[in-house]
Structure 1
């Protein structure tokens, strides 16, 4: 009897730890520990909105509901890819296929990846239409990885060790985003919760061999606090959405800091198109002291050229009370060849698209 009770207690403890790993609490911040808000200008929230927004255009298969999603991409055929969290906000105990493919009209094609992920987060579609996904949380046997899939769903590469979180170069704590350079080098942003003590960029070659890393938690120039998104311009410069510091940090591929931009808001998602136009999804700016503190800045998608850093367009968050929650509007971003913006929205559990007005 004693052995049975002991085994039951161990099983319960293991289950509790797994649940805690899958859904870690947000840290409590005081005014002293909050990053400084970005400076306001007369144009901070006043740029024109030359887009028409559509919601609910993706047609899910019968019986399927969309879970929270911060991952959207478009391939060379114009097909739309979404990674969602199994109809909820976690795939930890689900076998639902979280990675879905739709045609350009929003018709469902297929899904895959069931049982491999915990918390689908960052997305990248490379030049060969391979699908890269970061899994930002972990539980025993899965999560805390970067997964590379072929377009037909074959797992081609795993960076990190499934279910193992750490600060080494062969493991991740909470990988947020991934991007692949023209030469095949892979960049991963690691560190989703500030209280974990990890905020870094890791670089690997095309085979997954570790090359280098940079970044540390902090508010100073070059420091990072929740590097949440990655983008790359035509010159190969790496743009990091330094979300908790309310800025975009621009680096060389060897980690040299070039610019620190605050004019693009509090970035949750970044994308740079073929014309070097930067799209920044601010899903968190809030006035109340606490999480998302960035008074005066409205949530929405800010758009401008990386050539001069000027914001020229702004799509406001449609949420009538964005200060009422930790997130709303687009986190993950992608822009197709026709200039249509796709925004993956965590709170609303949907993907919106924003079409340029003719």
Structure 2
């Protein structure tokens, strides 16, 4: 019997055999995951084939993107059913059709705006698209701001500075837009999600989390945040328990609704996480989580040898309330 993770209305069963890749498709770190309206799953990864498309059942549908990207980082699909891919080493956001035709490139490939410049882009991380088609980009590893573009890629507004106050950032890592137009930013090294209106006015923050990396939101008004929390990495706290890595559901009042936390602890097995960098869900409510292995392997699993072909992603099936296998205590 598989372990059931989480509790309440957010319980999940890991599916260890999901994902039928041929032997010649070897994924790198799955830095970005997106799911389209037909439940096709897009794995934006750092292997030789940057975009790998799977069916809901895990069968390979397409693979493309060779020779385009420098370091895949973030993936999202807009209301226009186009794929937006963020390359943090290349300082670009590219918009594609779902079959890989390039439609738009924001930023100049290989050209940085400069460290903490406040201008697009300096190691941008992720993009989110509003219902009206505006594009919001988190920027990023060497910047501390959000940029808003119109659907044609024209810059409309930038906001944010380095720091820990409202509207300040310490590595804005992922970004989402909800159905009401609010913008959610995973402010990773400030251990919070900040919420803004579409003009960059600070509304609130969601905290009680640790180093939010992956971020998704549930599809409703006042959504819950689905947060991929990273483990500690400093020598002074990296052995502390209950600080990740795991996937957490949080409401707008910073309360934990459910936590997917394998009893086996961190790792790359079914139901385990190492660095949950990307999160998406399909029409059934099933979750897809991508792990970045290289960045955190020695900090989190330094007692274990790194596997030759570590598992880079996994699917977790949502368990219905009536499922007899559900054990609401299994996440602790």
Bucket of the pairwise TM-score, normalised by the shorter protein: 0.7 to 0.9
Quote how far apart the aligned CAs of 1:334 are: 0.5
Unpaired stretches in structure 2, ≥5 consecutive residues? 1-5, 268-272, 294-309, 321-332
SS at 2:52 equivalent: strand
**Correspondence for 1:72:** 33
Alignment of 1:88-127 (within 5 A): 96-127=48-79
Quote how far apart the aligned CAs of 1:76 are: 0.6
Q: Which of 1 and 2 has greater Rg?
A: 1
**Correspondence for 1:356:** 318
Alignment of 1:5-16 (within 5 A): none
Indicate if the aligned counterparts of 2:118 and 2:160 stay in contact, CA closer than 8 A: no
Task: Choose the corresponding residue for 2:224, options 277, 280, 293.
Answer: 277
Indicate if the aligned counterparts of 1:169 and 1:210 stay in contact, CA closer than 8 A: no
**Correspondence for 1:337:** 283
Task: Choose the corresponding residue for 2:110, options 143, 163, 166.
Answer: 163
SS at 1:50 equivalent: strand
Quote how far apart the aligned CAs of 1:293 are: 10
Indicate if the aligned counterparts of 1:330 and 1:346 stay in contact, CA closer than 8 A: yes
Distance 2:197 2:212 in 1: 19
Structure-2-length-normalised TM-score: 0.80
Quote how far apart the aligned CAs of 1:285 are: 3.6
**Are 2:185 and 1:240 equivalent residues in the alignment?**
yes
**Correspondence for 1:184:** 133
Distance 1:136 1:284, change over 3 A: farther
**Correspondence for 2:95:** 148
Quote how far apart the aligned CAs of 1:109 are: 1.1
Distance 1:207 1:349 in 2: 37
Quote how far apart the aligned CAs of 1:349 are: 4.5
Indicate if the aligned counterparts of 1:70 and 1:332 stay in contact, CA closer than 8 A: yes
Deviations 1:88-127 (A, max 9, x none): xxxxxxxx33111111111101111111101101110112
Distance 1:67 1:349, change over 3 A: farther
Distance 1:344 1:237 in 2: 25
Indicate if the aligned counterparts of 2:79 and 2:133 stay in contact, CA closer than 8 A: no
**Correspondence for 2:304:** none
Indicate if the aligned counterparts of 2:175 and 2:183 stay in contact, CA closer than 8 A: yes
**Correspondence for 1:82:** 43
RMSD, matched Cα: 2.5
**Are 2:136 and 1:210 equivalent residues in the alignment?**
no
Distance 1:317 1:244, change over 3 A: farther
**Are 2:16 and 1:55 equivalent residues in the alignment?**
yes
**Correspondence for 1:175:** 124
Quote how far apart the aligned CAs of 1:170 are: 7.0
Deviations 1:287-341 (A, max 9, x none): 7437x898752321111333x443210001576357xxxx814210101121111
Unpaired stretches in structure 1, ≥5 consecutive residues? 1-45, 87-95, 138-142
SS at 2:127 equivalent: strand
Structure ranking higher in helix proportion: 1
**Correspondence for 1:254:** 199
**Are 2:249 and 1:303 equivalent residues in the alignment?**
yes
SS at 1:332 equivalent: strand
SS at 2:148 equivalent: strand
Quote how far apart the aligned CAs of 1:221 are: 2.6
SS at 2:243 equivalent: coil
**Correspondence for 2:81:** 129
Distance 1:221 1:252, change over 3 A: same
Quote how far apart the aligned CAs of 1:74 are: 0.7
Distance 2:82 2:132 in 1: 15
Quote how far apart the aligned CAs of 1:354 are: 1.5
